Amino acid sequence: MSYARTRRIGEEIKKIIGKMLFEGQIKDSKVSGSRSLISVTGVEVVKGLRYAYVYISVLGNDRGSVMQGLTRSAGFVRREVGKNIGVRYIPEIVFRIDDSIQRGADM
């Protein structure tokens, strides 16, 4: 696998998950019922396409509950990504908090 391919797949995953969050397709109550702004800031796909680390920014106070909801719905997200990407193996989705925006705002 080339670096360019994993980067392209990561960008496609980012686009799909961002669209799912925007359209409210993730039905977990901790995600859809949240009053926070949730955005996908980046996706890092491991070289063997085994894992995709999705970095999420949550602007609001319920960061922990949003992450619990996203972690619970990771299987659904992986299935939806698989429907939209034409690769043989769909990476396992792992959500991580990206607090760079919050750190920048605190400066």
Q: Which residues lie closer than 8 Å to 92 by C-beta, 6 or more apart?
A: 50, 51, 52, 74, 78
Predicted local distance difference test score (pLDDT) of residue 15: 96
Helix (H, G, I), strand (E, B) or coil at 103: helix
pLDDT at 8 over 50: yes
What is the residue whose two structure tokens read 């990476």? Answer: 91
Q: Enumerate residues 6+ apart whose C-beta is below 8 A from 25.
A: 19, 80
Q: Confidence class of residue 73 from pLDDT cuts 50, 70 and 90?
A: very high
Q: Find all residues with CB under 8 Å of 79, minimum gap 6, and list them.
A: none
* Model confidence, pTM: 0.87
Partnered with residue 39 across adjacent β-strands are 57
Q: What confidence category does residue 107 fall into, taking pLDDT thresholds of 50, 70 and 90?
A: low
Integer Cα distance of 66 and 58 in angstroms: 8
* pLDDT confidence bin for 102, thresholds 50/70/90: low
Separation of alpha carbons 53 and 50, rounded Å:
10
